[in-house]
């Protein structure tokens, strides 16, 4: 049990990989756990891993994982002392954090007022400016006249951004004045649909920036520390797919100034818990981008370099304890997000049932996931299947370990991006650290798997399905045996007929 506010039972308001991650850290602190799950996730591993589990509604996120009232009711019913939101869903909603606190339950994260102040990008820019943090030149008015005046001063291209959210929603690059009005309208419309807030603003567009973020951790006693930086430049449609720490090629002077800026911003709002201050880096200059007031998906690379547990730190801080003393960082770490997407076909979302899973192992290899054989991957939620992380004494050692680990990763039944990620990490541009947010456009504009990869996967999958592996044969689970004996399975190689995946031909 955590001392101070006596967190004896924790409800995790999330699912899948991050729910499992939080459950494991809670157990190391002696905290009992409560999982919540939608009807679609009844058989998800995080449900079995928790001490208790509560169904909170149908598969639609709006009726389950985004339903704050039913989640708080589940916490009350089970006697949970605290709620951890994970990332995504309700994790950055100040109204949820406020409702949790008003219910007399500890919210594992920053106070609602801090989330509200930093969650709005325009408000965040003002706070950062007052704290002396470098800013990308921008115009905070959505008036076409004001934006035209800004563009006349700074020049095109300019970048339209949503005020109320992130993830690339509402973002538009404007190359010249003739594109401006249509881009403003489209950006505002998308922002309103995504966040319920159509406000937008503009910034000067940086042609080839890097995306570098600083991990901060603060407590209610006024302590605030920076736990290194992560380079998250490799993105697809503004979504990160590979992250690493330390950021390659960043000078010590720039790194120190970036830490100081992140801490100044955190102190300006009295930041508590884990958070991330994100920057755009252009040469030796950096500019404030935004603050993520939650645990980041890529937090494991920081944990490996600093030999710490950020989730456990969040729980300890929420219980009123001080930030732990952490030693100097060592080595390098890289994370690849493996998604349920078809990289060879415009990253089309993929679904299916996991019929075979083999995960890599060895020195410096970590795999955070909720995958297991038999798990159904549906289209209701985020496409993240798991995070593969490697650590080494140097970036090159971590990179080589990642190439090997991605080659050893085997998942049949759900098309995924492991092969695509392996080719990126094995590439010469990645090896030399030539990173920017346009990396994929420059070096991987089109990608197709090696022919042997598809053939081998098809042969193995066909063999497993035809032989009844995991209870699947000809696309159906076998009927229960009714006689005194069950005939031995026949190998598909004993058959002379042809076959296609999932059915005989």
Q: Catalytic residue numbers?
A: 294
**What is the separation of C-alpha 289 from the centre of its chain, rounded to a whole number of angstroms?**
18
Task: Give backbone dihedrals phi and psi of 202, rounded to 5 degrees, phi first.
Answer: -130, 150
CB 35 within 8 A of CB 54: yes
Cα 222 from chain centroid? 28
Cα 26 to Cα 14, 16, 49, 317, 366: the distances in Å are 14, 16, 11, 13, 19
- Mention every residue, 6+ apart, whose C-beta is less than 8 A from residue 275: 110, 118, 215, 216, 217, 218, 266, 291, 292, 293, 294
Which H helix or E strand runs over 482?
Answer: none
Q: Residue 424 in contact with residue 403, Cβ under 8 Å?
A: no
Q: Which of 404, 411, 402 is nearest to 460 (CA)?
A: 411
Of 133, 356, 425, residue with least CA distance to 417: 425
Task: Name all contacts of 423-432 with Cβ < 8 Å and 24+ positions apart.
Answer: 423/447, 424/234, 424/242, 425/242, 425/334, 425/336, 425/399, 430/234, 430/399, 431/396, 431/399
Spatial separation of the C-alpha atoms in residues 40 and 56, rounded to whole Å: 11
d(CA 41, CA 46): 9
- Across-strand partners of 386? 338, 369
Q: Give the sign of the dihedral formed by CA 120, CA 126, CA 132, CA 135.
A: positive
Distance CA 198, CA 196 (A): 7
* C-alpha to C-alpha distances, 393 to 102, 333, 397, 435, nearest whole angstrom: 47, 9, 6, 21
Give the containing element (helix H, strand E) for 217.
Answer: strand 210-218
């Amino acid at each position: 049990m955590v001392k101070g506010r006596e967190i004896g039972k924790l409800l995790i308001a999330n699912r899948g990989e991050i729910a499992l991650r939080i459950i494991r850290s809670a157990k190391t602190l002696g905290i009992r756990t409560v999982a919540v799950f939608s009807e679609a996730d009844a058989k998800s591993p995080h449900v079995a891993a928790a001490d208790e589990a509560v169904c909170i509604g149908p598969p639609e996120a709006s009726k389950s994982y985004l339903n704050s009232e039913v989640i708080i009711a589940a916490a009350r019913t089970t006697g949970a002392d605290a709620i951890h939101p994970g990332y995504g869903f309700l994790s950055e909603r100040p109204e949820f954090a406020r409702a949790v606190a008003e219910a007399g339950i500890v919210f594992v994260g920053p106070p609602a007022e801090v989330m509200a102040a930093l969650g709005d990008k325009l408000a965040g820019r003002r706070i950062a400016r007052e704290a002396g943090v470098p800013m990308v030149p921008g115009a905070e008015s959505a008036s076409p006249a004001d934006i035209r005046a800004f563009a006349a001063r700074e020049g095109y291209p300019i970048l339209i951004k949503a005020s109320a959210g992130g993830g690339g929603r509402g973002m538009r690059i404007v190359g010249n004045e003739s594109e401006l009005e249509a881009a403003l309208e489209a950006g505002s419309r998308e922002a309103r649909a995504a966040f319920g807030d159509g406000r937008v603003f503009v910034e000067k567009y940086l042609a080839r920036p890097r995306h570098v973020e600083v991990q901060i951790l603060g407590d209610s006693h006024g302590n605030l520390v920076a736990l290194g930086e992560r380079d998250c430049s490799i993105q697809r449609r503004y979504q990160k797919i590979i992250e690493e720490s330390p950021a390659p090629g960043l000078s010590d002077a720039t790194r120190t100034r970036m830490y100081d800026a992140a801490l100044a911003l955190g102190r300006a709002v009295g930041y508590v818990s884990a958070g991330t201050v994100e920057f755009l880096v252009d040469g030796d200059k950096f500019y404030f981008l935004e603050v993520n007031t939650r645990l980041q998906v890529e937090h494991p690379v920081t944990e490996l370099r600093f030999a710490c547990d950020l989730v456990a730190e969040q729980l300890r801080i929420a219980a009123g304890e001080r930030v732990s003393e952490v030693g100097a960082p060592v080595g390098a770490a890289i994370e690849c997000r493996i998604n349920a997407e078809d990289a060879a076909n415009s990253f089309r979302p993929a679904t299916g049932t996991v019929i075979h899973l083999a995960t890599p192992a060895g020195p410096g290899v970590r795999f955070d996931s909720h995958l297991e054989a038999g798990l159904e991957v549906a289209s209701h939620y985020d496409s993240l299947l798991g995070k593969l992380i490697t650590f080494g004494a140097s970036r090159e050692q971590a990179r080589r370990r990642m190439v090997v680990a991605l080659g050893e990763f085997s998942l049949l039944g759900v098309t995924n991006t492991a092969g695509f990620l392996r080719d990126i990490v094995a590439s010469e541009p990645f090896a030399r650290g030539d990173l920017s947010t346009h990396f994929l456009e420059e070096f991987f504009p089109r990608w197709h798997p090696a022919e042997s990869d598809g053939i081998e996967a098809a042969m193995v999958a066909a063999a497993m399905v035809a032989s009844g592996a995991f209870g699947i044969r000809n696309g159906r689970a076998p009927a229960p045996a009714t006689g005194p004996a069950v005939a031995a399975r026949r190998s598909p190689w004993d058959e002379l007929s042809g076959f296609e995946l999932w059915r005989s031909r």
